[in-house]
Amino acid sequence: MYSVITRRSLLPMLALAGLSAACLMAADKPNFSGSWKMDASKSDFGPMPAPDKLEQTITHADPNLSFTTVSNGANGESKTDTVYTTDGKESVNKVRNMEVKSVAAWDGDKLVVKSKREVQGMEISLVETWSLSTDGKVLTIVRNASTPQGDFTLTTVMNKADGASAAAAPAPAATASVAPSSGKRADFTGEWKLNIDKSNFGPVPPPTSETQKVDHHDPALKVTTISSGMDGDHTDNAAYATDGSESSNDFRGSAAKSVAKWEGDTLVISTKVDYQGMEITLKSGWKLSDDGKTLNVATKIMTPQGDFDLANVFDKVK
């Protein structure tokens, strides 16, 4: 049905193979979550002494980005906690008892962080550019520092230490694979409310609320999505044919082409859309509980930056 992923400018949500438009934005913005260790051989600290060790643990659920940095070098071991918001709002952190004011915002698929601090009466400006490799395993942070004594550049290359791709979401409660079934076809007609507590949104913040109004008379399936979240309130419509013939829905001016067909008692909807020059593929499995009161939607999203899974649970209200 739906999940939401935010970006610098959130788009209105549009039901698309059971997903929102904002969900597709995951292909546009990387997720930096994970444990990272400095690759000393690829890093360059310019005129500054290189640390012996530099590790970061990052939690990223856009627009919230927080991380803990542990370093060990000439000045001994230090541990710093930092919090940014990537929507251009100012954040204030303490680094070695000094106040640092920062503004972080997306520039395409790169995060740019501009910071200022005072050191011994001198103002230091720092511009950081965070970028993630295509496979999500290498984080590069380039820092351009401006000081009264001159400017210099530092480059830190970090390897992902937890073995997972940062482009992918944590494993959800269910996957988009279709479980064995009895073969009985469900009727999804009704009004469904997203159960946020039981759903799994991976690395992304959940919506405030969402209701799906479904009119299902096989092979015709019509879905009206009423949602509320960080990008406001929206009502969107989508229509599918469950007999395997192709359906087309408008997605922000682009044609989203879908094929829906039954696999036992699970309806599988496969969708392709060319979004901002990138081909996004989505595969959703809709499955109704035996008592007809719970609708489970497991979705796999495949993007040029990586694949990830979502699992949504809806309770029937009408």
3-state SS, 119-179, equals ECCEEEEEEEEEEECCCCCEEEEEEEEEECCEEEEEEEEEEECCCCCCCCCCCCCCCCCCC
CA distance 13 to 95: 38
pLDDT of residue 294: 96
pLDDT of residue 66: 93
Contact 266, 285 (CB under 8 A): yes
Half-sphere exposure of 211 (CA within 13 A, CB side): 9
Residue-level length of the chain: 318
Q: Give phi and psi for 121, each to the nearest 5.
A: 80, 0
Residue 309, pLDDT > 90, answer: no
Across the chain, what does the average pLDDT equal?
80
Residue 136, pLDDT > 60, answer: yes
pLDDT, mean of residues 250-263: 84
pLDDT of residue 12: 29
pLDDT, mean of residues 26-39: 82
pLDDT of residue 29: 79
Tell me the pTM: 0.50
**Structure confidence at residue 153 as a pLDDT band (50, 70, 90):** very high
Residue 139's CB is within 10 A of a number of other CB atoms, namely: 23
Residue 204, pLDDT > 70, answer: no
Distance of CA 232 to the CA centre of its chain: 18
Sheet holding 34-38, edge to edge: 76-85, 64-73, 53-61, 34-38, 150-160, 138-147, 122-132, 110-119, 98-107, 87-95
Q: Please measure the distance between the N-terminal and C-terminal CA atoms of the chain and give it in whole angstroms.
A: 17
Most distant CA atoms of the chain, gap in Å:
75
pLDDT, tens digit, 9 for 90 and up, residues 267-301: 999 998 876 667 888 899 999 999 999 999 998 88
Residue 9, pLDDT > 50, answer: no
Q: Where is 251: in which H helix or E strand?
A: strand 243-251
pLDDT of residue 178: 40
Contact 293, 313 (CB under 8 A): no
